[in-house]
Amino acid sequence: MYSSLKIVIRVYHPVIEISNGEDIGDLRRFRDHWLKVQSDTLDRIESIRNDPWASGVFDVLLPRRIYPTPEGNYYLHNVLPLTTFRGQVCYEWGLQSSVERSKTRFPPGYPMELRDLLCEMRIQEFRKMIEGTNRVRRWHSYDVPYPEGYRIRDGLLFDYRSVAQHYQIPTEIIDFTNNIDVALFFACTYYDQTDGRYHPVDEEWIEEHEYGAIFSSIPLFETTDHVPVDNEGSMFIPVQPFGRPYLQSGYAMRPSEHVDFVTKRRFRHNADFSRMIFDRFHGGKDIFPSEGLDWLVEEVRHIMGSRSFSDQSFEDSCSHLGFSREKSDEMIDLLKGYGYSIGRNAYSRSDREIASYESDWTVKGYLRDIGIGVPEHTITISMEDSRVLTLMDLKPKMQYIAGLYTMIYGTL
């Protein structure tokens, strides 16, 4: 057996092939069905997890474990590979990332490359800001339990783009979840830009938007030796030092050359059911906790409305977009022509002030607060052997994986 073998759950994306399924019908029955399916799935996983042949294959299904990556850091995995869902309150809306939607809101005449750059600079400005917080610094330097002789560089893995997405910075990510109730929350409530809150749909909303939508996708297995959080492809979001991705059981659908098969189903809105789901999460407080981060929400508004960005955010954005030095110089002139400047942070607080917040924050305390508990061990991986395994390498294992997959999901 190769020590680098790991099964990573990834959900591939666009080109996205969407099939329209039958109408959902009664939402309560739909919810009860999927709650039972997921409960039965977890029971089946539990029943086979101790099988000797499953060691090294289904370790990734176990919550509260830390996994090393070849880059020298670790990610904390607490999401199980169940069917994933996305709820949208309006059936007519397409499956589109928040950054693609945001690009349509610029004034007419903005060149697309300028829109791309401004959207990316907002993400990089957010990254620059939060990487100075005690949360992220201590997440990076967390003393992970690891086997003797294994060198550790960066502590726990920080996925800044997933965090940005969950704190209202538009990114290329399309949010999915393996929690049916979370998906139903977003399917049965609407966001009011004026007060910054979610509200249950009411009869007035239903008159204008009669149907909502639920997208679903069964997770796919791929053999890989590490977790490509910042690369192409899509997968669960590892636990982060900010609670929203975990509390929403988040999966991130990201651009890839692969095709993802997603089913879109329509349902008729019901005001009483919408209120029930809304109350189930205490008006959204359970999945949008404040976490004492009111300052962060305020700074996000500054970033989204700013016409000035730091030198670092500009350079990182040009690098991310693949701009040459000549192109970067050209973009500075283009920015100036549209009233933007480079040289000052888009957020209002100083880096020193941000670094002073939450001086008593600890990784262990945070994990306990969000209900995970502190991991006590790692799954080891040999750096010498770490590589993507070919199908020939895995043939005996893959046959067994297929059997386990069928046991869990009922079909391949």
pLDDT above 70 coverage of the chain, percent: 66
Q: What is the mean pLDDT of residues 121-128?
A: 98
Beta-bridge mates of residue 341: 308
Report pLDDT digits (tens) over 71-90. Answer: 555 555 555 556 789 999 99
Domain positions in the chain are 7-107+145-289+380-399
Average pLDDT taken over every residue of the chain: 76
Looking at per-residue pLDDT, the higher value among 275 and 65 belongs to 275
Q: Which band of pLDDT confidence, cut at 50, 70 and 90, is reported for residue 365?
A: confident
Residue of 227 and 370 predicted with greater confidence: 370
φ, ψ (nearest 5 deg) of residue 71: -75, -10
Please tell me which residue, 283 or 377, carries the higher pLDDT value.
283
Cα 170 to Cα 67, 127, 232, 301, 403, distances in angstroms = 28, 13, 17, 12, 40
pTM: 0.79
How confident is the model at residue 237, as a pLDDT?
77
Q: Choose between 357 and 77: higher pLDDT.
A: 357
Assess whether pLDDT exceeds 80 at residue 358. yes
- Cα(149)–Cα(384) distance, integer angstroms: 13
Q: How many CA atoms lie within 13 A of 107 on its CB side?
A: 3
pLDDT of residue 214: 93
347: pLDDT strictly greater than 50: yes
Q: Give residue 253's pLDDT.
A: 78
Alpha-carbon gap, residue 262 to 97, rounded angstroms = 15
* pLDDT tens digits along 215-244: 988 654 433 333 333 334 446 677 889 989
Q: What is the mean pLDDT of residues 354-366?
A: 92
Which pLDDT score, from 0 to 100, does residue 178 have? 83
- pLDDT(143) > 90: no
Residues 65-96, buried b or exposed e (16+ Cβ, 10 A)? bbbbbeeebbbbbbbbbbbbbbbbbbbeeebe
Cβ(68)–Cβ(378) below 8 Å: yes
Angle, CA 201 vertex, CA 199 and CA 203 arms, to 5°: 135
Q: What is the pLDDT of residues 269-314, one digit of tens each?
A: 999 999 999 999 999 999 998 888 999 999 999 999 999 999 999 9
| pLDDT at position 36 | 85
Give the residue-averaged pLDDT of 19-42.
81
